[in-house]
Structures are given as structure tokens and as C-alpha cells.
Structure 1
Amino acid sequence: MNSRKVVYLFFTTLIIGSVSGAIVGFAFDYEMYLSGGAANLIVGVIWLLGMSAAFSLISQMGFFAYLTVHRFGLGLFKSHKLWNYVQIVLIAFVLFDLFYFRYIAFAEPGETMFGYMIIPVLLLVYGLVIAYLKARGTNQSAFIPALFFIVVVTTIEWVPALTVNDTKWLWLYFTPLIVGNTWQLLILHRLSGQPAS
């Protein structure tokens, strides 16, 4: 992949992540942004775009880190099959931790685990859909790595927001991450010219 395509990937991910995060952030607090006049709205939107751009950059760092880890894993385990099993175990571990540790940290007396299982289940379903699209666009061996990236890497990138039980911050942080990660994953093979099989 040449430098022009790398620059394209960087800026498109930055723009898509920034805009998506700004839209979600605006939706959560639209009354606040609309109540103070045009200047308040402009400054608020700029702030949302800036925050979302920062989260989008985290998404890009996570993506390139995963590409390195994936190559390392393939070299270490000497087999796609074994590396895929390791990734499946890590996916299960992260999904369990995603609901269990949040339940332990934030559950009110009498609150059940069910509410804390919604996010991991939705993330898994979304990851399965994106992994299917990636595998269909490239080859079947891309399914588990794509699922791992969407579930595990996105969760790791999301950890700072997960430590605060604030719905607005959870989604303001998550949206640029998941949108950026999805875009990078689904566009990479087109940019690199990897054929489907």
C-alpha cells in the first residue's frame, strides 16, 4: 500500500470518526448546544468534533497495533488455526470481563447482571456482522481476526470510558472508535488490492 493510500485511510477515518462522534454527542445534549445562541452552538460542535477526532486517532493507533499483533501471533503460533483458537478464547474472555467487571463496579443493590450484558451481546452481534462482511470481501480466514479486532481491540480502546458509568461518555467515546474501526477493517483490503477468494 503506497503513501497516498495510507494518507487517504488516515484522513477518511479521522473525518468519519469525528463526524459520527459529534452527531452522537450533539444528540445527547442538543438542548444545551441550542440554548445559548449561534456562538454556543458553533463552539459546542467544534468541541465535539475535536473530542471525537481524538477518539478516532485512538482507533487508528489500535488498528495498526492489531496488524502488528496479528502478524506476531501468526509467527508465534505457526498456524492460522491455532492463532484463531487463541483469538476465540480472548474474545470470550473480553466479553465476559466487559459485563462482569462493570457489574461488580457499578451495580446498585438488587440490580441484576442482565442490564450489563446488553453491551457485550450487541458488540458481539455487530462484530459477527462486520466479520462476515470482511470474510465475504476477502476470504474465510479473515472472519476470526475481524471479529477479534471489532470485539477485543475496540473494548481495549474503550476502557477509559468504561471506568466511568456515564451513558453520554460511554457513547461519545465508543462511536468514533467503532465507526473508525469498522471503516478501517472494511476498506483495508480495497486499498491494498487484496483479491477476494
Structure 2
Amino acid sequence: MSIKKWFYLFWTTLLIGAAGAVIAGLALQAVNGKIDFKSTADFLLYPLILLGYGMLVSVYSQLGFFAYLILNYMGIGVFPRKVWQYIQLVLAVLALLELVFLRSVVGGERNVTSDLFLGILILLSAIVVTYFKVRSTNFSAWIPTFFFMTAITIVETIGVLRIGVDSATVFIIVPLIACNAFQILMLHRVLKPQAA
């Protein structure tokens, strides 16, 4: 990957994260019914804060993405390719089970409904992104894409899950899923060699 391609991926992901945070922030304000700006400065400052937060989430997402690429490279080097795919699939299922059941049922940390909803949201987004990735590339991309969209996304949300506030979870999960989906769907396009 050249610097120019990485630069393109970095800035476009930054914009995706900013847009996702603005959408999530304004939607949360509308759902909570607390859109009461006291002045014009508040009205202008709130979207700027959302943009900045979305950019921070996108950088966090990019760190997770490059960490996954390194992990995948090492996994392919250590294990046979078929074994590494099964390991990723098992880890993705375990991450979903941990999010949905183990935290709520075994640990008793939170109520089951919000964790179940979050797990279903992550699972559905992973299935949709995996479908489009396989359609754009080939069938062998489905396990790595599914693993990245489930296990890595869940690992990236651990910090906000410990807070235990549903609105904070929504506020980070929307731009995070958008950034992760964009990066994994764009990877083969960015790495495609240019025609001479």
C-alpha cells in the first residue's frame, strides 16, 4: 500500500466517522427530546463537537483495522490457511456470545435486552458487510470480513460497554460500524494495482 492510497483511506474514513457521529448525535438528541440550544453558539458548536468526536472514533477504528491486518498476516504465517479461518470463525462466535450472554447472564453486569440488541445489530451489520465484500471479491473473503466486523468491533467497543450507558454505546457504535464497514469494503479497491 502506497502513502497516497493510505492517505485516501485515512481521510475518507475520517469523513465517514464524522458523518456517523453527527447522525448518531442528532438522532439521540431527537429521541431524547432534548434539542434545546440556548444560543446560536450552542447550535453551531454541538455539530462541531460531534464532528470532532466522529473523527476520533474513526482514528480508533483505523487502529483496530491495521491491528487486524497485522493479526491476519501473522495468523496466516503461523497456521495453515484453513485452520486460521476456522480460528477466526470460532473467535467471532465467542465474541458474540460473550457480548450477548456471558456479560449479562453469567456476569450479571447489565440487563439482557440492550446487550442482545447490540449483539443482533453487530451480527446483522457483519452479515450485510460480508455479503457485499464477498460479492465484490470472492467467497474466501467471508470469514475474515465476518471476523473483523464482529470480533474486532466488539473489542473496540469494550471501553464504552464498561460505562454501561446505552446512549454512549449508540454514540460510539454507529460511527464505529460505519468506519469498519467502509475500510473492509474499500481494502481490495485500494490495494488493486493501477493499470499501466
Partner of 1:36: helix, strand, or coil?
A: coil
* 8 Å contact from structure 1 (residues 34, 40) kept in 2: no
1:96 aligns with 2:100: no
CA RMSD of aligned residues (A): 1.8
Change (3 A) 1:51 1:114: closer
Which structure 2 residues correspond to residues 16-55 of structure 1 after superposition, within 5 A? 16-30=16-30, 32-55=34-57
Distance in 1 separating the partners of 2:127 and 2:53: 28
Displacement of 1:153 in angstroms is 0.5
* 8 Å contact from structure 1 (residues 66, 153) kept in 2: yes
Distance in 1 separating the partners of 2:34 and 2:56: 22
List structure 1 segments (4+ residues) > 6 angstroms apart after TM superposition.
none
Moved more, 158-167 or 33-42: 33-42
Identity of aligned residues (%): 34
Distance in 2 separating the partners of 1:62 and 1:94: 15
* 8 Å contact from structure 1 (residues 33, 40) kept in 2: no
Q: For each residue in 1:49-89, what CA deviation from the matched residue of structure 2 results, as whole angstroms up to 9, or x when unmatched?
A: 11111111100000011000001001110x22111110111
* 8 Å contact from structure 2 (residues 13, 183) kept in 1: yes
Displacement of 1:115 in angstroms is 5.1
Equivalent position amino acid for 1:167 in 2: D
Moved more, 49-58 or 60-69: 49-58
Partner of 1:179: helix, strand, or coil?
A: helix
Change (3 A) 1:50 1:74: same
Equivalent position amino acid for 1:57 in 2: V
* 8 Å contact from structure 1 (residues 14, 57) kept in 2: yes
Q: TM-score, normalised by structure 1?
A: 0.89
Distance in 2 separating the partners of 1:114 and 1:3: 44
Equivalent position amino acid for 2:164 in 1: N
* 8 Å contact from structure 1 (residues 33, 44) kept in 2: no
Q: For each residue in 1:119-173, what CA deviation from the matched residue of structure 2 results, as whole angstroms up to 9, or x when unmatched?
A: 2123112212211211121111110000000001111111111112212100111
For residue 105 of structure 1, the aligned residue among 105, 109, 131 is 109
Identify the residue that residue 158 of structure 1 maps to in structure 2: 157
Q: Give the gaps of 5 or more residues in structure 2.
A: none
Change (3 A) 1:142 1:27: same
Moved more, 44-53 or 145-154: 44-53
Q: For each residue in 1:96-136, what CA deviation from the matched residue of structure 2 results, as whole angstroms up to 9, or x when unmatched?
A: 110124412023xxxxx455322212311221221121112
Distance in 2 separating the partners of 1:92 and 1:120: 11
Partner of 1:83: helix, strand, or coil?
A: helix
Equivalent position amino acid for 2:51 in 1: L
Moved more, 146-155 or 123-132: 123-132
Distance in 1 separating the partners of 2:113 and 2:36: 36
Displacement of 1:34 in angstroms is 4.2
* 8 Å contact from structure 1 (residues 52, 172) kept in 2: no
Task: Say how many residue pairs are matched.
Answer: 189
* 8 Å contact from structure 1 (residues 94, 152) kept in 2: yes
For residue 76 of structure 1, the aligned residue among 75, 78, 82 is 78
Displacement of 1:33 in angstroms is 4.8
Distance in 1 separating the partners of 2:44 and 2:102: 38
Partner of 1:12: helix, strand, or coil?
A: helix
Identify the residue that residue 184 of structure 1 maps to in structure 2: 183
